[in-house]
Amino acid sequence: MKIALVTGASRGIGLAVADALHAAGLHVIRLARSLRDTSAERRMDISCDVTDPASIDRAISRIDKQLGVPDVLVNNAGIFFIKSLAETSLADFSATLTTNLQSAFVFAHAIVPKMAARGRGHLVTIGSISDYIGFSGSTAYAASKFGLRGMHEVIRQETAKSGVRTTLVSPGPVDTDIWNAVDPDSKPGFTKRKDMMRAEDVAAAVVYAVTQPERVAVTEIRLLPAIYTPRG
């Protein structure tokens, strides 16, 4: 049975991805700060703060001992806020890079070489429309997401002959808690929550990518709401 590890899987896109992969028959490991360590049929939850490499080490050792090397790694955990360059503190910038980008590196660094040694595996990176367009107020977020795009491209090159597949999924706005502080419905120029995609839409894209025949590499998927006006 294939094993999938999803970071940031307590709610939103990560939870939907975990549920969809479970429904597709995989053994799913969910990681997030608010989850408790538990195991059940084809499920394992691990409490993990992805900004803390020691916490990631603990999670990976537990997975190694109990399940072995995951077949699918979904680097999803992320934070988001809108602040101009002048309003963005060094702490804001650093927290965004650590959560969104460094954590993806730490997981990929620990797991992808083992996938390559085994000759198969799939790294899915949850990017964003902000991994290819710069929006006002997204200095930190865009730095992290463009960084993820760069890392995805390099890992794709490095693993191209190993049997490991890599997919970057880049969604536009999705109606999750990540938008609560922004409150887009009250602000002109933002996609309204009713028009946003659903977490399940992103999950369906991930399932599509990881269930293609081994000969097919789905390198990138961009998703946008059907009704969408990009912010400036």
Interaction between residue 123 and ligand NDP (CB under 6 A):
no
Which region, judged by CB under 6 A, interacts with ligand NDP, from 3-11, 117-125, 157-165, 213-221? 3-11
Q: How far is the CB of 215 from ligand NDP (least distance, A)?
A: 28
CB distance 178 to 199 below 8 Å: no
**Which of 10, 58, 132, 163 is close enough to bind ligand NDP by CB under 6 A?**
10
Site map for ligand NDP, 175-194, x if CB under 6 A?
-xxx----------------
Q: Is 141 a catalytic residue?
A: yes
Interaction between residue 32 and ligand NDP (CB under 6 A):
yes
Round to whole Å and give the CA distance between 150 and 15.
Answer: 25
Virtual CA dihedral for 90, 94, 100, 102, nearest 10 degrees? Answer: 150
Round to whole Å and give the CA distance between 21 and 25.
Answer: 7
Query: Which pair of structure tokens corresponds to residue 52?
Result: 């803390």
Round to whole Å and give the CA distance between 59 and 53.
Answer: 10
Residues contacting 222, CB < 8 A, separation 6+: 129, 132, 170, 171
**Which of 4, 5, 6, 8 is close enough to bind ligand NDP by CB under 6 A?**
8
Q: Which is nearer to ligand NDP, 118 or 231 (CB)?
A: 231
CA distances from residue 73 to 8, 12, 41, 168, 180 in whole angstroms, order as listed = 12, 17, 19, 12, 27
Which region, judged by CB under 6 A, interacts with ligand NDP, from 32-40, 63-71, 159-167, 206-214? 32-40
Round to whole Å and give the CA distance between 15 and 171.
Answer: 16
User: Restricting to residues 11-30, which ones interact with ligand NDP according to CB under 6 A?
Assistant: 11-14
Interaction between residue 50 and ligand NDP (CB under 6 A):
yes
Interaction between residue 138 and ligand NDP (CB under 6 A):
no
CB distance 76 to 8 below 8 Å: yes
Site map for ligand NDP, 58-97, x if CB under 6 A?
------------------xxxxx-----------------
Following DSSP, what letter does each residue of 121-153 receive, concatenated? EEEEEE--GGGTSPPTTBHHHHHHHHHHHHHHH
Which region, judged by CB under 6 A, interacts with ligand NDP, from 81-89, 108-116, 170-178, 212-220? 170-178
Interaction between residue 120 and ligand NDP (CB under 6 A):
no
CB distance 194 to 94 below 8 Å: no
Chain contacts with ligand NDP (rule: CB under 6 A): 8-14, 32-34, 48-51, 76-80, 99-100, 126, 128, 171, 173-174, 176-178
- Catalytic positions, written as ranges: 141
